[in-house]
Structure 1
Amino acid sequence: MTELKMNDNKPDKVRQAVRRITYGGILAAIILIATIVFQFPIPMPALKGYVNFGDGVIIAAAMIMGPYAAVSAAIGSALADLLSSYVLFAPATFLIKGLMGLFAGIMFKKYPNIKWYAAVGVITICEAIMVSGYFVFEMFYYALTNSPDGLARGAMTAAIALPFNAVQGVAAVLLGLAMMPVARRLRIDRTDEHNTIDRDYV
């Protein structure tokens, strides 16, 4: 009986793995599209970044996939940089967006019925990761590429981008909240749970 039960569970694990890979690929593609299509270069010659709506999709992905959203967030966002001529930003984007997806995914998985005001707090922390992460990266980037005065000048240049990153953060909060009802219905662990229940009662 035990051996039979273990064998019966194998198809479930395969289905769950396939579902995660499928969801992950689709969400990475949506993050890529949202980042490229809704992309607004920072209107200052000294700065090389851009504002986009990809963060809102990362938040939705975290609600759907939990911590697995880190992979979709990292790959989709980094590919957007590579395809948008921001190649040097891609490694930092991979790390920063991955951390955002991981943190949000852990929190939304731990608190699946989180209230909207608590979700605002989670998204705000994610955007703080984004803003601070890019500030540190840009500080060193501008210090090494454009600034003869070293880190101090690099920090000043990077600080100019902070308001633009903050605007992106506000957009992510609004988009994340707007997509929250749909994302909750698509939650992958909820889908797995329903499929298991259906099989148990058939």
Structure 2
Amino acid sequence: MNEKRKFSVRDIVFIGVLAAMCAIATSFKIPFGVGAMVHLGTAFLFTVGICFGGIYAGLAAAIGSAFYDLIMGFSPYTLWSFVIKGTAGLIVGTVAKGLWPTPVLNEVGNGWVWRAVLGCVLAAAWTLSGYIVAWWQVTGSLATAFANMPSSLMTSGVGLVVAMILSPKLRKSVNR
């Protein structure tokens, strides 16, 4: 079961559309703290990971989050977001679904729910630790980095709730 898969044109188009949607979802935000925000980008990232898998979620989150930072004036965070959010998408997608989109017909019961929650929690922990380092490096203040922790936790919490509401219905449409 160690088969290698190449990117198809369909994969590239899906990832591009998902990256654009990630940037748009991140724009729905509430400023909180110094340079921090509660936004729906994380909810989108978690939902894509649960529905499409790690490759799609990782690339869509990396590109979409970095693009958002670049066009919205958060350019010091662009590379940080690319790495942190891309890895978070890879984590949640791989734990919840696997690397690539697969039909949900072969999944029995609600076992996917526990994998999805675990993937989201692991991705949230990674995101929190990554952004503490990013905030510290960009602002030069460890106190500011720690002050932004509540917004990261709130964003991930909202993301988990939204993803768990949307994912059951969206997972079924992925097969179509």
TM-score (norm. length: structure 2):
0.83
Fraction of identical pairs, as percent:
27
Q: Which residue of 1 aligns with 2:31?
A: 41
| 8 Å CA contact retained: 1:61, 1:183 | no
Q: Which residue of 1 aligns with 2:167?
A: 180
Tell me by how many angstroms 1:65 deviates: 2.5
Structure with greater contact order relative to length (CA < 8 Å, sep ≥ 6)? 2
Runs of 4+ with deviation above 4 angstroms? none
Q: Distance in 2 between matches of 1:169 and 1:117?
A: 17
Matched, 1:63 2:53: no
Q: Distance in 2 between matches of 1:174 and 1:94?
A: 24
Could you list the per-position Cα deviations for residues 16-58 of structure 1 after superposition, in whole angstroms to 9, with x for gaps in the alignment? 712211211111111111101x11222x4xx123221101111
Q: Residue 24 of structure 1 aligns to which amino acid in structure 2? A: I
Tell me by how many angstroms 1:131 deviates: 0.9
Q: CA RMSD in A?
A: 2.1
Q: Distance in 1 between matches of 2:19 and 2:53?
A: 14
Alignment length (residue pairs): 162
Q: Distance in 1 between matches of 2:44 and 2:124?
A: 13
Where 1:48 maps in the other structure, the secondary structure is coil
Where 1:40 maps in the other structure, the secondary structure is strand
Tell me by how many angstroms 1:184 deviates: 1.4
Q: Larger radius of gyration, structure 1 or 2? A: 1
Q: Which residue of 2 aligns with 1:129?
A: 126
Once the two structures are superposed, the pairs formed by residues 65-144 of structure 1 within 5 Å of their partners are 65-68=52-55, 69-110=57-98, 113=107, 114-143=111-140
TM-score (norm. length: structure 1):
0.73
Tell me by how many angstroms 1:181 deviates: 1.2
Could you list the per-position Cα deviations for residues 63-121 of structure 1 after superposition, in whole angstroms to 9, with x for gaps in the alignment? 23312221111001111111211111111011000001111121123496434244222
Q: Residue 39 of structure 1 aligns to which amino acid in structure 2? A: K
